[in-house]
Amino acid sequence: MLPDDVTGRGFNMVSLTRFASRGLLAAALSGLLAHGAAAQEITFKDQENREVKLAKAAERIVSIVIPMASTVIALDGGTKKLVGMNPTAKSAVLEGILSKIFPETKDIPSDVTAPNFVPNIEALTATNPDLVIQWGGRGNDIVAPITNAGLNAMLILYGTEQLTRDYMTMTSKAIGKPERIKELVDWRDRVQKDIEAKAKAIPDDKKPSTLYIARALSEIATTGTKGSYNAWYMELVGGRNASAELNGTVTINKEQIAQWDPEIIFLNAFEAKLDVNWVYNDPILSLTKAAKNKRVYKMPLGGYRWDPPNQESPLAWMWTANLTQPDVFKYDLRAEMKTAYKTLYNYDITDADIDGILWMKEQGGSANYVQFKAK
Amino acid sequence: MAALAQDEAAPMVRRAHLARQTLVFSGLLTLFAVAFVVSLCVGRFAVPPARALELIWLGATDPWRELATIDERIVLLVRAPRVVLAALAGAGLALSGAALQGVFRNPLVSPDILGISQGAAFGGALGIMLGIWGFPLISMVFLSGMAAVVLVGLISRINGRSETITVILSGLVVSSMFSAVVSLLQFVADPNTSLPAIVYWLMGSFATATWERTLIAAPGLIIGGAFLWMLRFRLNILSLDEAEAQSLGAKTNRERWMVFGLIAVIVGSQVAVSGIIGWIGIVIPHASRLLVGHDHRALLPASVVLGAGFMVIIDTLARTATAAEIPLGVITALVGAPIFAMLLRNHYRERNGS
């Protein structure tokens, strides 16, 4: 009880100074809330094994981690609880479908952190968050300012599907909706198991080499297999990571791509100006098997970019699966997207929305892409 | 100075000196030619050396041929422009370093001292952040490099003339100002796209070389270099004591700025297409000085050939050692710093010994 009382008073102090005019009311209200919520205190261990203690379900969340901003919206089924996000997350929201589903997202502040995850403590404190989601495993310098300001930090780790499910579960618990996560994790599990079962029968010599290009426009970067989520799902769906010999995300040259001669190329969704013509117009890349067979695809941008782990990952796997092993996987992606967007955002996605997300206009002519056309 | 003294010496000594210079230059040229051809034959994509040589021959004799197969394109569209660009950039940087060390009468200066690199880095980082690629980015980098030199000129010009010390200090000021802005840009850059691009670009690389980029950079590098070569006698005079130089009729202030301007064109062109590459401009002139002496008539061409060869070798390492491209800045420093330390020790040991 005592520590909660202390945080409660601290909170009142902040309220009093920040809202001097309505200080009394705010103090009375938050005192009431703190008292009423004491029974539902939430404690859990985050992925850096720190204890996170919330007096009540978090109502105001800031995500410094980029993909988690849209995940918080999906977990809550709305934008009410997200009070701050990374500028790079905001650009995904503005470029993508979320700004259409939830127009109010464009007013959520993104000045709480620099894109490189260094928080701006004053701006962060001004949003008055009761939970701040931050990356773990990147040193204490980006965490200490948050905790020193008396804010609650929850640290999460990047890389695997398991970690993703764990931190999504943790977040849904923190926002007081533990029941919500089950259907999302069940969905991930169901799709993953289904893909695994079907992919098991694929012999190794039928697995095409696939290359994910993480950056293309300034220099070309791609990623090794270890610790890469992209490589993980490319192999899950029956592909072979062409750049498996690399370690982490590193810069390579076109000659190296020619040497690997990948059968499929996936381009990142991060670079807005990048499309498949980057490959087709290049004298070297246009001679790869992928380009000759028109198997070059840019990753879709839905509620978030489909490349990294996020709330829509199963859709990304199904999309990748249908394109990597068209004879094995025949998911009805449009139908899956309709169901998923209803579940995730309570939104009835239109055919035009789907066309935009899948870049039908830009890459509708690619091999095996006709299956995604509206019927 | 040494050369001037030798000019008055007996013809025997002069002949020996000439023989030595010829030997050194033919050695350097052979080294460069070998490095150039070998680097066209090696790379991550397996092309048999015999086939690569055949392709180089075909490319040299019939440059407008349609290139259909992948090995032709690799050798002639990926490796060739890259090796040519690396050679030109290495030559330009080494030449600028040699000229600048003469003008400043200081062996420690490098082309970075005029603030060009940091100014250009600012243009590059800003361009990448704004999502500008290709030719507009290159021009932006070049212009901001020029702007930095102009700024150095304005700051250091006091009562109508600029002392070398004020030029060096102004260069320092302008450099640190621009590098602060570059840091700021890195701070606000998108960690998924522009930040790694900026960081990689700041470490220097020829990975993006194409004939187009090579042809964009070539005029600046070649014309700047040619003009510096024409100034070789002037450089000999400028490297003398200020009063001595003026007594020989040199308009030191004006001529110095002519040299700075040419160097700005060379370094600006190089940074625009391949990012910041350190160490070449300081290590190569020193090595060349040990080989051919202080006379700029010999020092400049020696720096050009050695700089070109060294850069080609470094870049070949960068693109072939691993599947990942190693940033040039890393290799030039790792290779350049120990060589420099060795040269330094040898130089002062000899000097103290004699």
Q: Report, as an integer, the average pLDDT of A344-352.
A: 94
What does the pLDDT read at residue B46?
A: 84
Nearest to B201 among A91, A218, A220 (CB): A218
From chain B, the residues in CB contact with A88 under 8 A are 190-192
Torsion, Cα A166 A169 A175 A181, to 10 degrees, reads 160
Tell me which of A8-12, A225-229, A299-303, B70-74 is least confident. Answer: A8-12
What does the pLDDT read at residue A199?
A: 95
What does the pLDDT read at residue B8?
A: 55
pLDDT of A311 above 90: yes
- For the stretch A182-224, pLDDT in tens is 999 999 999 999 999 999 999 999 999 999 999 998 789 999 9
With contact defined as beta carbons under 8 Å apart, do B310 and B20 qualify? no
From chain B, the residues in CB contact with A270 under 8 A are 190, 192-193
- For the stretch B53-62, pLDDT in tens is 888 888 888 8
**Which chain A residue has the Cα nearest residue B191?**
A116
Residues 6+ apart with CB under 8 A from A144: none
A-B CB pairs within 8 A amount to 102
Of the CA atoms within 13 Å of residue B268, those in its CB half-sphere come to 28
pTM, two decimals, is 0.78
Which chain B residues touch A if contact means CB-CB below 8 Å? 43-46, 67, 69-70, 73-74, 77-79, 128, 131, 133, 186-197, 200-201, 205, 207-208, 319, 323-325, 327
From chain B, the residues in CB contact with A272 under 8 A are 131
Inter-chain CB proximity A114 and B188 less than 8 Å: yes
What does the pLDDT read at residue B2?
A: 47
Task: Tell whether A117 lies on the interface with B, counting CB pairs under 8 A.
Answer: yes
- For the stretch B282-326, pLDDT in tens is 889 988 988 898 899 999 999 999 999 999 999 999 999 888 888
How far off is chain A from B253, nearest CA to CA, in Å?
A: 40
pLDDT of A235 above 70: yes
From chain B, the residues in CB contact with A258 under 8 A are 45, 70, 74
What does the pLDDT read at residue B354?
A: 52
**Which chain A residue has the Cα nearest residue B72?**
A284
Torsion, Cα B188 B191 B197 B200, to 10 degrees, reads 100
Q: Is the ipTM, as predicted for this complex, more than 0.85?
A: no
What does the pLDDT read at residue B340?
A: 77
What does the pLDDT read at residue A261?
A: 95
Pairing of strands A42-45, A51-54: antiparallel
Q: Report, as an integer, the average pLDDT of B214-232.
A: 92
Closest listed residue to residue A149, CA positions, set A175, A171, A126, A116: A126
Q: Considering Cα of A77, then A70, then A273, then B137, what sign does the dihedral take? A: positive
Q: What are phi and psi of B137, to 5 degrees?
A: -65, -45
Residue spans per domain, chain A: 1-38, 41-176, 184-372
The domains found in chain B, sorted by start residue, are 2-340 (1.10.3470.10)
DSSP for B274-288 reads H----SHHHHHHHHH
Residues 6+ apart with CB under 8 A from A149: A121, A124, A125
Rounded Cα distance, A208 and A222, in Å: 17
From chain A, the residues in CB contact with B193 under 8 A are 215, 217, 270-271
CA angle B206, B211, B217 (to 5 degrees): 65
Nearest to A116 among B77, B191, B327 (CB): B191
pLDDT of B213 above 90: no
Q: What is the Rg, in whole angstroms, of the alpha carbon atoms belonging to chain A?
A: 22
How far off is chain A from B230, nearest CA to CA, in Å?
A: 37
What does the pLDDT read at residue A20?
A: 44
Task: Tell whether A94 lies on the interface with B, counting CB pairs under 8 A.
Answer: no
How far off is chain B from A248, nearest CA to CA, in Å?
A: 10
Does an H or E element contain A248, and which?
A: none
Which of B40, B41, B42, B45 to mutate against chain A (most A CBs within 10 Å)? B45
Closest listed residue to residue A62, CA positions, set A111, A17, A14, A8: A111
Inter-chain CB proximity B200 and A217 less than 8 Å: no
- For the stretch A266-306, pLDDT in tens is 999 988 889 999 999 999 999 999 999 999 999 999 999 99
Inter-chain CB proximity B74 and A258 less than 8 Å: yes
How many whole angstroms from its chain centre is CA B347?
23
CA angle A162, A167, A169 (to 5 degrees): 95
Task: Provide, for chain B, the percentages of residues in helix, strand and coil under a 3-state DSSP scheme, each rounded to the nearest 5.
Answer: 80, 0, 20
With contact defined as beta carbons under 8 Å apart, do A324 and A357 qualify? no
Q: Which fold has domain A184-372?
A: Rossmann fold (3.40.50)
Tell me which of A21-25, B67-71, B174-178, B251-255 is least confident. Answer: A21-25
Q: From its phi and psi, is residue B131 left (phi > 0), alpha (psi between -120 and 50) or beta?
A: left
Pairing of strands A264-267, A240-241: unpaired
Reported residue count of chain B is: 354
pLDDT of A8 above 50: no
- For the stretch B256-293, pLDDT in tens is 888 988 998 999 889 888 888 888 998 899 889 888 98
Place of tokens 């040589």: B53
With contact defined as beta carbons under 8 Å apart, do B211 and A284 qualify? no
Inter-chain CB proximity B201 and A115 less than 8 Å: no
Distances (CA, A) of B347 to B102, B125, B344: 17, 39, 5
B216/A5: higher pLDDT: B216
pLDDT of A360 above 50: yes
Which pLDDT band, with edges at 50, 70 and 90, does B353 fall under?
low
What does the pLDDT read at residue B59?
A: 86
**Which chain B residue has the Cα nearest residue A221?**
B324
pLDDT of A14 above 60: no
pLDDT of B7 above 70: no
- What is A41-176's CATH number? 3.40.50.1980
Q: What are phi and psi of A251, to 5 degrees?
A: -80, 140
From chain A, the residues in CB contact with B195 under 8 A are 115-116
What does the pLDDT read at residue A11?
A: 39
Rounded Cα distance, B143 and B125, in Å: 13
Q: What is the Rg, in whole angstroms, of the alpha carbon atoms belonging to chain B?
A: 21
Rounded Cα distance, B213 and A310, in Å: 39
Q: Report, as an integer, the average pLDDT of A135-147.
A: 91
User: Do A184-372 and A41-176 fall under one CATH topology?
Assistant: yes
DSSP for B18-51 reads HHHHHHHHHHHHHHHHHHHHHHHH-SSS---HHH
A346 burial (CB, 10 Å; 0-12 / 13-18 / 19+) is: exposed
Does an H or E element contain A97, and which?
A: none
pLDDT of A231 above 50: yes
Residue A122: how many CB atoms within 10 A of its CB? 10
Average pLDDT value over all residues in chain B: 86
Contact residues, A window 158-217, toward B, CB-based 8 Å cutoff: 215, 217
A40/B233: higher pLDDT: B233
Q: Report, as an integer, the average pLDDT of A142-159.
A: 92
From chain A, the residues in CB contact with B47 under 8 A are none
Which DSSP letter does residue A307 get? S
Helix axes B116-129, B252-274, angle to 10 degrees: 30
Q: What are phi and psi of A48, to 5 degrees?
A: -100, 15
From chain B, the residues in CB contact with A218 under 8 A are 128, 133, 194, 197, 200-201, 208
Inter-chain CB proximity A252 and B205 less than 8 Å: no
Rounded Cα distance, A122 and B178, in Å: 27
Which of A94, A112, A209, A255 to mutate against chain B (most B CBs within 10 Å)? A255
What does the pLDDT read at residue A35?
A: 46
Does an H or E element contain A223, and which?
A: strand A220-223
Inter-chain CB proximity A271 and B193 less than 8 Å: yes
Q: Report, as an integer, the average pLDDT of B159-184.
A: 87
Q: What are phi and psi of A78, to 5 degrees?
A: -175, 180
Q: What are phi and psi of A135, to 5 degrees?
A: -70, 135
- For the stretch B95-121, pLDDT in tens is 999 999 988 887 778 888 888 888 988
Per DSSP, the three-state class of B113 is: helix
With contact defined as beta carbons under 8 Å apart, do B114 and B260 qualify? yes
For A121, the token pair is 């403590």
What does the pLDDT read at residue A181?
A: 93
What does the pLDDT read at residue A33?
A: 47
Q: What percent of chain A has pLDDT over 70?
A: 90
Distances (CA, A) of A190 to A200, A299, A317, A345, B161: 15, 22, 12, 20, 77
pLDDT of A24 above 50: no
Q: From its phi and psi, is residue A248 left (phi > 0), alpha (psi between -120 and 50) or beta?
A: left
Rounded Cα distance, A273 and A216, in Å: 10
Task: Tell whether A114 lies on the interface with B, counting CB pairs under 8 A.
Answer: yes
pLDDT of A25 above 50: no
- For the stretch A85-132, pLDDT in tens is 999 899 889 988 999 999 999 999 999 998 889 899 989 999 999 999
Tell me which of A73-77, B157-161, B330-334 is least confident. Answer: B157-161
For B262, the token pair is 């040419």
With contact defined as beta carbons under 8 Å apart, do A310 and A71 qualify? yes
